[in-house]
Structure 1
């Protein structure tokens, strides 16, 4: 295939040049592709069969243990699960609500902390020291203790209006997870090569513009898998707000267990949390694999 490059001043067409097209794959390459496809199909088949065999062996071992009948009655009673479903599911909606607000608060507050820790110059030393002390403190204190201090300590000061316990649970989650996520942000910011910052500053961008337009977009791509893993962890820890008295999925399961003398509601709440986390877990794995493939383009033979 050819194309005309243009016309001369006299109106005559200039010589044409062939368009560059990729050559078709050779017979050897087609053979290698077919071999890889067969190997992939064989690997998938073996994986499925081995997984089914392993699951069957585990199931046979569990159901043949002496105490399986009592465990099944105490933890896997369908009638109790159906009865507890409305209250546990209603509690899960509260967990989801707390999770959404906590995730937004952590995203904003952790980014502010990471920005403070990356400031340069002696004049910003108090801010850097304050941010570093904050991250050290809340990464060292267990979340359960933070929940007690925030949920029962802050309302006891009588300087805040009366708020529901779910609000204080959200505050405790933000305070704790912001310390972890800020370190993830800081690692991503410091992973950006200094030449990027120097180039942006040489073009006349201020420190804030450089951070917003050059550094943060690159840092976000680097730390996306880590941020998503922290979000998955917070999906589980959001159930700890039950210690403050909030009737979430865990507290609702506790109430149903006390009413029926059966632990099936706890299993039901656990399965609901797993179903809540699975989409984000699979999305995290997909994004991680996608980024790895992009970084390894051209490295495989």
Structure 2
């Protein structure tokens, strides 16, 4: 049996699935435009769009930075540092994002505040600094930190695989030219690794858009939370969650198409 190794659209076939989705999205858009009920639901749900976008962008940026650091730590010369990185990756990957969200929000944040108050106790006693309370750390930032930690473990593995895919001969040639380790990484390794890691990073970015809906369990006013509040008050569960699914589909499929186009341009540029 022969299996396709690429999506049909990558083999020259027309993207009929995209046409079907476009027709479906247009039909739902018309329903929203002509129906007062659906228009009201849509107007309520999209109020949380800004929070969803903010949580996703900031969370993914921080997760990428932390993930790159963990990946470099895992390839260090020191055995201890490598084992610390591996311990972090394996432990964090084994914890569901929702559990991590609760843990950071209700265990990690109070522990951080307690530690901060202990360290700054002399300054607080002298009146130079006010003691911190748990509510000073917003629930949105607790959610962002949880997503950052949860995704950084997966992103670390992506970066590790990308960096290790670079031909060692190029690194040896850079050494012969007298480039320092930092210069070799910045000028030789990272630019090439980014072309390798971009597709899986894109997938993780789209996945974080969906997983950002989990912040609603903390009461953060994202798309899902706005929908929960509206549905619980109006009992219009079908209409509300149909609109929520519609908005997330527009976001995720739109992002997937944009990122796939950017990936193809990167691939074409590298082949010139």
TM-score range for the pair, normalised by the shorter chain length: 0.7 to 0.9
The 8 Å contact of residues 71 and 160 in structure 2, kept in 1 or not, is answered as: yes
Question: Paired residue for 2:219?
Answer: 245
Partner SS state of residue 76, structure 2? coil
Partner SS state of residue 42, structure 2? helix
Q: Which has the higher contact order (CA 8 A, sep 6+)?
A: 2
Q: Using the alignment, how far apart are the partners of 2:225 and 2:167 within structure 1?
A: 48
1:212 aligned residue (166, 180, 186): 186
Q: How many residues align?
A: 229
**Is 1:99–2:56 an aligned residue pair?**
yes
**Is 1:150–2:124 an aligned residue pair?**
no
1:182 aligned residue (156, 176, 194): 156
Unaligned runs of 5+ in 1: 1-39, 57-76
- The normalised TM-score by structure 1 is 0.69
Q: Using the alignment, how far apart are the partners of 1:185 and 1:294 within structure 2?
A: 21
Question: Paired residue for 2:260?
Answer: 285
**Is 1:193–2:167 an aligned residue pair?**
yes
What is the Cα deviation at residue 284 of structure 1? 2.9
Unaligned runs of 5+ in 2: 1-11, 25-33, 117-131
- Judging by fraction of residues, say which structure has more helix: 2
The 8 Å contact of residues 74 and 86 in structure 2, kept in 1 or not, is answered as: yes
Further displaced range: 152-161 or 224-233 = 152-161
What is the Cα deviation at residue 295 of structure 1? 8.1
The 8 Å contact of residues 88 and 252 in structure 1, kept in 2 or not, is answered as: yes
Question: Paired residue for 1:131?
Answer: 85
Computed over aligned residues only, the root mean square deviation of the Cα atoms, in angstroms, reads 2.7
Q: Deviations over 1:208-249 (max 9, x none)?
A: 221111111110011111111111111110111011121211
Question: Paired residue for 2:122?
Answer: none
- The normalised TM-score by structure 2 is 0.76
